[in-house]
Amino acid sequence: MKAFVVEKYGKGGLRAADVPEPTVGAGDVLVQVSAASINPLDKMVRNGEFKRLLKYELPFVLGHDVAGIVTQVGPTVRGLTVGDEVYARPRDLRVGGFAEFIAVDQDDVAPKPASLTLREAAAVPLVALAAWQILVERAHVVPGQKVLVHAGAGGLGSTAIQLAKHFGATVATTTNSRAEEMVRSLGADTVVDYTKEDFSQVLSGYDLVLDSLGGANLEKSLTVLKPGGLAIGVAGPPDSGFARQLGAPSFMGVAMNALSRKVRKQAKALGVRYEFFFMQASGAQLRELGALYDSGRLRPVIDRTFPFDRTLEAMAYVEQGRTTAGKVVISMTPGDD
């Protein structure tokens, strides 16, 4: 089958290749890929940023989001049958959405939301799961709380704004003037144009900040939290909880804590908290999220669609920061652009 594989770590390490179709385990479903989407995580994995913790065996197929049609099920699979339209964020070490077929553990798969096309559904899994796990499992957001979502026009930001509003939060976001109308349409109550204003000078008293930028942006985010507030970073720096999540040796947890010592110390001095976040695959949560898409509470935001044979161009498009809003999708349907 045709696929895009990481042959070596680094910017030039992704290439087109012919590879065998994946082996289907007892608890797996084989999915004929209709569409996939690109996430910042794809670049990070391709570049080897997690190679000490996520030990992929080179070469491997890249791609963390997928939507398609089930063509085969393992003997222990329940609740999924051949012909089902599904979507998934395959678990780490089993990714591979940039291919014609992928074998996915049944626990990571959910029926595609009926209201979405396969192309739209491919834009959903990773960012929707991340937003859900941050807002529900980590922050326990309740009505009336104040949530700041950075980069509100991005894939994660646009999803988190909608989900936070669904949970009754008051939502602020940072973006540029081109995307202001769009993020307001998603539910943002306050929009800070980062090209004109410093959010840390105009916002205060927030219960939660979701930071996808890191560095100085994360450090300033700590200052807009109310006492006891929580900043969650998806761009780092990592902490010991990340090492525990991946089942890494204890010395790796010590190393992760060293990387985040500065920001954790700053947070403690301000009476707030910092945590690193790395999402986990979950078909059960995708079923819950699917109901929210079908009810109209959530909607995917897609910037552009590329045909499968232009996957490398699509990756470059994302890396160069050319997206204006939402996700970039890769479609197997000929003629898509």
**Could you report the per-residue pLDDT of 282-330, keeping only the tens digit for each?**
999 999 999 999 999 999 999 999 999 999 999 999 999 889 899 999 9
Q: Give the domain ranges of the chain.
A: 2-124+300-331, 126-276
Sign of CA dihedral 156, 87, 242, 7: negative
CB 103 within 8 A of CB 25: yes
- The answer, yes or no, to whether residue 85 has pLDDT greater than 90, is yes
CB 284 within 8 A of CB 111: no
**pLDDT number for residue 334:** 66
265-281 average pLDDT score: 96
- The answer, yes or no, to whether residue 337 has pLDDT greater than 60, is no
Superfamily, domain 126-276: NAD(P)-binding Rossmann-like Domain (3.40.50.720)
pLDDT mean across residues, the chain? 95
Q: Mean pLDDT check: name the lowest of 218-222, 254-258, 313-317, 325-329.
A: 254-258
| Four-point Cα dihedral 39, 43, 238, 260, nearest 10 | -120
Q: What CA–CA distances, in Å, run from 136 to 7, 94, 204, 314?
A: 37, 25, 22, 32
pTM for this prediction = 0.96
**Could you report the per-residue pLDDT of 42-80, keeping only the tens digit for each?**
999 999 998 988 899 999 999 999 999 999 999 999 999
Q: Which pairing describes strands 14-18 and 190-193: parallel, antiparallel, or unpaired?
A: unpaired
247-265 average pLDDT score: 86
Cα(48)–Cα(43) distance, rounded to whole angstroms? Answer: 9
Q: What CA–CA distances, in Å, run from 63 to 86, 146, 329?
A: 16, 33, 11
252-262 average pLDDT score: 86
**pLDDT number for residue 142:** 97
Coil vs helix vs strand at 62: coil
CB 67 within 8 A of CB 86: yes
pLDDT band at 333 (very low <50, low <70, confident <90, very high): confident
CB neighbour class for 228 (10 Å; exposed up to 12, middle 13-18, buried from 19): exposed
pLDDT band at 98 (very low <50, low <70, confident <90, very high): very high
Cα(165)–Cα(190) distance, rounded to whole angstroms? Answer: 12
Q: What is the architecture, at CATH level 2, of domain 2-124+300-331?
A: Alpha-Beta Complex (3.90)
